[in-house]
């Protein structure tokens, strides 16, 4: 009964646009774990932007480093292509080496995560003049369906590709299959549990400085201590 209820809920929320043509390349472009192989294979930018989460003592900031995403430096408007970006993030702050993103107070996590727990922001597609946001799960299912269809009904295309590919795309397809095998059950579990569950010991892309004393913390402590000594304001540090 619970499984059935979850299935109904799942069918209600999945979105797959009808009447639009999708290429495997497009589907691969939004899968975080394929990002490096995708960019090496096709020499083009993928549609996911890697995020570094920095946890500070009194706030959390997300940053995009230009060395990981150089095309963002040339095209800052790229962030506008992220679905619900404005609803969930404050105005981005562009600095020399990176972009800082502050979450809105009532923020919803719109990121997608790699198997190693690294956060990415997914760009939406432009299809028939509309902004289309494809979920990771649907992208994987569609990719698998496409590959299954190709191997079953078009062996004249599939077999030479498997036997003679020298472009490296075959390796990307293999990686896609292994990522899907590992990721799809995890995504379904996340959906059922309404949580981001990672089966890893150490999460990638998170810098935790909550228990580190930074220079700005020292400045604050000195200021507060002085205020306490001079005016009796605030708390005395032990």
Partner 1 sequence: MSILKVAYELCKTVIKSPLREEVSVMMNEIKKFQEVQIGEKLDKYEMGKTIRNQSAEKANIQFYGYLIADSKRKEIEKEFNRLVPELSQEHFDLLTKLQREFIFIDEKIINLLPSNLIHRSTLNPYSMYGNIVTKDGSFKSSLFTEEQLDRLKSSFRRHKGFQEIGKIPVDLYSELNKISDEKIENANHVFTDRLYKAGVMTHPNDMLEAIRGAKRGNAVIPVKYIFSLMCIRESIHTLNQLIYQAFLQDKLPVFNEDNLISIKSSSHLGGKGYSLKSQYEYSLKPRDLVHVIDPYDTNPFPILCQIESATISFNNEFGSHEDLKLRVIDEDLNPFQGILESLNYKYK
| Residues in region 154-193 near partner 1 by CB under 8 A | none
**Taken in order 166, 168, 169, 171, is the CA torsion positive or negative?**
positive
- Asked if 212 interacts with partner 1 (CB under 8 A), we say no
Nearest Cα neighbor of 122 from 140, 134, 104, 105 is 134
Question: Is residue 102 a contact point for partner 1 (CB under 8 A)?
Answer: yes
Identified binder of partner 1 from the candidate list 2, 13, 106, 199, rule CB under 8 A? 106
Judged by CB under 8 A, which of 35, 63, 118, 119 binds partner 1? Answer: 63
Stretch that binds partner 1, among 70-78, 96-104, 114-122, 171-179 (CB under 8 A): 96-104
Q: Single out the segment in contact with partner 1 by CB under 8 A; choices: 5-13, 92-100, 113-121, 149-157.
A: 92-100
Q: Is 96 in the site for partner 1 (CB under 8 A)?
A: yes
Q: Which of 22, 43, 16, 20 is nearest to 143 (CA)?
A: 22
Asked if 93 touches partner 1 (CB under 8 A), the answer is yes
Binding segment toward partner 1, per CB under 8 A, in 87-95, 109-117, 156-164, 187-195: 87-95
Q: Report the alpha-carbon angle 175-113-5, nearest 5.
A: 100
| Closer Cβ to partner 1, 106 or 164, answer by number | 106
* 197 or 209: CB nearest partner 1: 209
Axis-axis angle for helices 169-193, 35-42 (nearest 10): 150
CA distance 118 to 139: 18
Dist. CA 133–CA 237, nearest whole Å = 50
CA separation (Å) from 43 to 68, 166, 232? 15, 15, 62
Binding positions for partner 1, rule: CB under 8 A: 54, 56, 58-59, 61, 63, 90-91, 93, 95-97, 100, 102-106, 216, 231-234
């Amino acid at each position: 009964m619970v499984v059935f209820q979850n299935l109904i809920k799942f069918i209600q929320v999945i979105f797959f646009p009808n009447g639009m043509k999708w290429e495997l390349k497009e589907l691969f472009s939004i899968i975080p774990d394929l990002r490096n192989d995708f960019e090496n294979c096709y020499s083009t930018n993928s549609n996911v932007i890697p995020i570094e989460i920095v946890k500070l003592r009194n706030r959390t900031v997300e940053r995009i480093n230009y060395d990981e995403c150089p095309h963002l430096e040339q095209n800052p408007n790229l962030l506008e292509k992220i679905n619900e970006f404005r609803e969930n993030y404050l105005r981005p702050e562009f600095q020399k080496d990176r972009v800082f993103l502050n979450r809105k107070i009532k923020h919803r996590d719109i990121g997608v995560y790699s198997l190693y727990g690294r956060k990415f922001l997914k760009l939406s597609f432009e299809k028939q003049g509309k902004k289309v946001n494809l979920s990771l799960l649907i992208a994987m299912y569609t990719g698998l369906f496409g590959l299954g269809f190709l191997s079953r009904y078009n062996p004249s295309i599939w077999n030479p590709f498997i036997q003679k590919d020298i472009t490296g795309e075959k390796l990307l397809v293999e990686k896609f299959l292994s990522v899907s095998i590992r990721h799809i059950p995890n995504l379904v579990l996340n959906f059922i549990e309404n949580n981001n569950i990672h089966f890893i010991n150490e999460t990638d892309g998170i810098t935790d400085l909550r228990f580190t004393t930074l220079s700005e913390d020292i400045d604050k402590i000195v200021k507060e201590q002085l205020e306490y000594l001079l005016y009796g304001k605030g708390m005395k540090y032990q």
